[in-house]
Chains A and B, each alone.
Chain A
């Protein structure tokens, strides 16, 4: 065994989102570029009570019920979402810099939001959005979700650039 300082590689937030999308049957996936620096874009994005209803037409409101910092430094939230169509959904949320996973407490639905500085433009941010019904029977939903997720990604882009 050596004490060499070997080069290391990272699992970036967007790579993490891509991997989860690959592992979730029928996941919808979209990426876009936001014309805002990463820190600015991420802080506004993680103001979930404002950003999600502004970006997603199907969400009427988001309320953060609990918030705690986990031992590994991530933030854990419990939120309630009310849909424009009526139903209420409770989510467990895990937030790290550039990465957010929102899982409906009965595991009916999951949303992943990931962002990182655009490697070609430091004044811009790459954004990835994943939505899935994490059940095997949901695989055929992928094409439908792709369209919904693409709309949501553009909704977040418009909100963050406004």
Chain B
């Protein structure tokens, strides 16, 4: 399976982003359509039942601040950061989204041999939102551990060790 970043229809978006930044409503809408599958997967896996809310808040934030994106080629990473933030926020209403190393303690792991897993949602639901975020970024989006660490503002070693624990815990959840 391709990483969703590669599968998302984001190639050649430079002109589209520029047009949307210039206030063209059709370009804004085309951008939403192009990004929706990718954002939907990030938000769905992290925010679960509140995934649709997270998608909405992501796109509101994206279009409100699109002019601040200086390099259109950085769109993908920029949107990813917003989507993760909004998904974690939606999954933890009323809480801030700052990530501390302790948040990743007891992190469950990449879901093992997941093709056979029937109830992924139930397994994910047993993990705290930030743990789901690590799994999503590493295993769904295909980011390197260093990239996950940078995005979540934690040391790479923290991501690595917590990811191992996470995978073990997820394996346990899925084997019940």
What residues make up the interface of A, taking CB atoms closer than 8 Å to B? Answer: 1-12, 15-16, 18-20, 22-25, 92, 94, 101, 103, 107, 110, 112, 132, 134-136
Residues on A with C-beta less than 8 A from B55 are: 9-11, 15
**Of residues 42 to 72 in B, which have CB atoms within 8 Å of A's CB atoms?**
43-45, 47-48, 51-52, 54-56, 59-60, 62-64, 66
Residues on A with C-beta less than 8 A from B23 are: 24-25, 107, 134-136
Which of A8, A23, A134 contacts B40 (CB under 8 A)? A8
Q: Is the interface of B mostly helix, strand, loop or mixed?
A: helix
A15 and B140 contact, Cβ closer than 8 Å, known pairs A2-B114, A20-B28: no
CA distance A134 to B23 in the complex (A): 6
Residues on B with C-beta less than 8 A from A5 are: 114, 117, 120
Interface centre among B25, B48, B51, B120 (most CB of A within 10 A): B25
What residues make up the interface of B, taking CB atoms closer than 8 Å to A? Answer: 1-3, 20, 23-26, 28-29, 32, 36-37, 39-41, 43-45, 47-48, 51-52, 54-56, 59-60, 62-64, 66, 110-111, 114-115, 117, 120-121, 124, 136, 139-140, 142
A8 and B56 contact, Cβ closer than 8 Å, known pairs A23-B66, A24-B23, A134-B25: no
A12 and B44 contacting across the interface, CB-CB below 8 Å = no
Chain A nearest Cβ from B88, distance in angstroms: 14
Which of A15, A23, A103 contacts B64 (CB under 8 A)? A23
B24 and A134 contacting across the interface, CB-CB below 8 Å = yes
Chain A nearest Cβ from B166, distance in angstroms: 13
B48 and A7 contacting across the interface, CB-CB below 8 Å = yes
B60 and A22 contacting across the interface, CB-CB below 8 Å = yes
Residues on A with C-beta less than 8 A from B51 are: 7-10
**Closest residue of chain B to A111, judged by CB?**
B25
Known: A8-B51, A135-B23. 20 other contacts (CB 8 A): A1-B139, A2-B111, A4-B120, A5-B117, A5-B120, A7-B48, A8-B44, A9-B41, A10-B40, A10-B51, A10-B55, A11-B36, A12-B52, A15-B55, A15-B56, A18-B60, A19-B60, A19-B63, A23-B28, A110-B25
**Closest residue of chain A to B63, judged by CB?**
A23
Chain A nearest Cβ from B87, distance in angstroms: 8
A107 and B124 contacting across the interface, CB-CB below 8 Å = no
The 9 sampled A-B contact pairs (Cβ below 8 Å) are A2-B1, A4-B139, A7-B45, A8-B37, A8-B41, A24-B25, A25-B23, A94-B29, A107-B23
Residues on B with C-beta less than 8 A from A101 are: 25-26, 29
